[in-house]
Amino acid sequence: MTLHAMIPIPGDLHARYNRDSVGRDWLASLPGLISAALDRWQLSVDLAPGAEPWNGHGALVVPVLRSGAPAALKVAFPHEEALVERHALALWNGRGAVRLLASDDGSCSMLLERLDASCWLQDVPLDEARDVWGSIMRELSIPPDDRLEWRAFDHVAATAERWSDELPAEWERLDRPFPRWLLEAALEVCQTRGAVGRRSGTDVLVHTDLHFMNILATTTAERQSLRRDYLAIDPQPQIGEAEFAVAPILWNRIHDLPRTGPEAGLLERCQDFSHAAGLDPEVARQWSIAREVQNALWYAAKPGHGGDLARSLWVASTLAGSTLAGLPPAHDLPDPGEAA
């Protein structure tokens, strides 16, 4: 049996990329990409017989050993966020985020320090999760300097400017799937925060996908060092206002909101997590409206995502001050990924 034949492709990753020819080509190339990375960095696979490697939405992560030390080999589908991930990790250099040990741009592969994939912030009580998230956000929010890696990232304000054109066009194309006032609330954020963000002078490196499942515990060996107990992964990095990063912790773990008054609980969570990270809760609320309206339009265009659409509309409209009628109760909304 060849070395790469010992590494099975997880079913959900295979199903996701088996839908079109580009994805199927990437799946077919994975064994060769893995084998080449093992040779390039002189790695051995550290996977129990019959066990599957880890995977996220767009990457395979294989536990490996390099000179007997644990590490993780990540091979990503070459999409935009994955291509710039290595630059963000290099800038953070292990502070608040997983440490990058080596990378190969051509194959979209990285060698990373190994974290504990079985222990993430998703399962931690929210009070503790808030403090961990806030601490990590403070570490990740570094200002730009003269290092070349900074040139790789889009600006949050440019994203907002693009959304100013794209959101209304998509809303019309999809036959106006929610009230106009909610679209206008998002557009106001894009126009005002986009302009402010361009001239505020508060740019930092932003982990735009810092939800609970993208924060993993360090391994036992790391816990014995001076490193923090949790580190971020999968940054989808941009430059801009740090408050842009708050939204994912609002659209995740909705079931943990109070059953009495979940709407007030969502606004309180926005305030609490923002304060824990030293951020402006009002700016975080505004960016979160825009991000969830953009998510809602993405889900509205995808068959089978009705539950995700309802969740995004509940979060966006609640943050905007008037929860839309006709949506399921908060605790009946699916978690991200649950409805697809």
Do the beta carbons of residue 246 and residue 276 sit within 8 Å?
Answer: no
DSSP secondary structure letter of residue 239? E
Other beta carbons within 10 angstroms of residue 258's beta carbon come to 13
Is 308 marked active-site? no
For residue 157, what is the DSSP state? Answer: H
Residue 170 parent element (H or E): helix 156-173
Q: Which of 278, 252, 282, 280 is nearest to 267 (CA)?
A: 282
Beta bridge partners of 112: 72, 100
**114 Cβ neighbours under 8 A, 6+ residues apart:** 63, 70, 71, 72, 219
State the Cα–Cα distance between residues 74 and 113, nearest whole angstrom: 10
Q: How far apart are CA 256 and CA 261, in angstroms?
A: 12
- From the candidates 203, 209, 234, 272, give the one annotated as an active-site residue: 209
Distance CA 215, CA 116 (A): 10
Active site residues: 209
